[in-house]
Each structure stands twice: as structure tokens, then as C-alpha cells.
């Protein structure tokens, strides 16, 4: 799966407002935006994102994953610092 396919998968299955995925080899950085994150612990946020990616993680195509999550309000403040180039 390429970055766009991963972003589409996460956006569709998790009903996210916005998703950005960048990668180098099997190392991925994911930025996810949804108000669902407001009430979740850090661990729950990670588990929420990992869920749809379990096949890619299991087969080794995704080895290291860095996840940043934001509510829509947080994202309005943080987007200029976090949008992947």
C-alpha cells in the first residue's frame, strides 16, 4: 500500500476528518484529525489507528509507525507546524 491508499483506508474506516501519511521504506508517519480523539487516552488513540493497519503491520510492510492525533480545534492551531511536506 502506498501513502495515499493508507490515508484513504484510515479516513474511510475510522471516519476521520483529515489524514496525512508520509513514509520512508517501512517507516510511516501518520497525522490523524478527528474530534473522536478528545475523549481517548494516548493508548486508545494508538490502538484506534493501528486497527485498520493490522495486516500491513503483521506482514512487515509497515514496521515503524509514528502517530500524531489532533481534535479539529487542536488541528487549526497545529497544522502549520505539522503538515508533511
Average pLDDT, the chain: 91
| Tens of pLDDT, residues 11-50 | 999 999 999 999 998 899 999 999 999 999 999 999 999 9
pLDDT reported for residue 85: 53
Task: Give the separation between CA 37 and CA 56, rounded to whole angstroms.
Answer: 23
Model confidence band, residue 60 (pLDDT cutoffs 50, 70, 90): confident
φ and ψ at residue 82, rounded to 5 degrees: -120, -5
Structural domains of the chain, count: 1
pLDDT reported for residue 80: 77
Task: Give the predicted TM-score (pTM) of the model.
Answer: 0.89
Q: CA separation (Å) from 39 to 25, 27, 66, 71, 84?
A: 33, 28, 20, 10, 25
18 falls within a domain: yes
85 falls within a domain: no
56: CATH: 3.30.300.90
Q: Is the dihedral of CA 21, 5, 70, 59 positive or negative?
A: negative
Q: CA separation (Å) from 26 to 31, 37, 76, 81?
A: 16, 25, 29, 24
Amino acid at each position: 500500500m502506498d501513502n495515499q491508499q493508507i490515508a484513504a483506508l484510515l479516513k474511510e474506516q475510522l471516519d476521520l476528518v483529515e489524514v496525512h501519511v508520509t513514509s520512508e521504506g517501512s517507516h510511516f508517519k501518520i497525522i490523524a484529525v478527528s474530534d473522536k480523539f478528545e475523549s481517548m487516552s494516548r493508548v486508545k488513540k494508538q490502538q484506534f489507528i493501528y486497527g485498520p493497519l493490522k495486516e500491513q503491520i503483521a506482514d512487515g510492510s509497515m514496521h515503524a509507525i509514528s502517530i500524531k492525533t489532533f481534535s479539529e480545534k487542536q488541528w487549526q492551531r497545529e497544522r502549520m507546524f505539522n503538515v508533511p511536506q
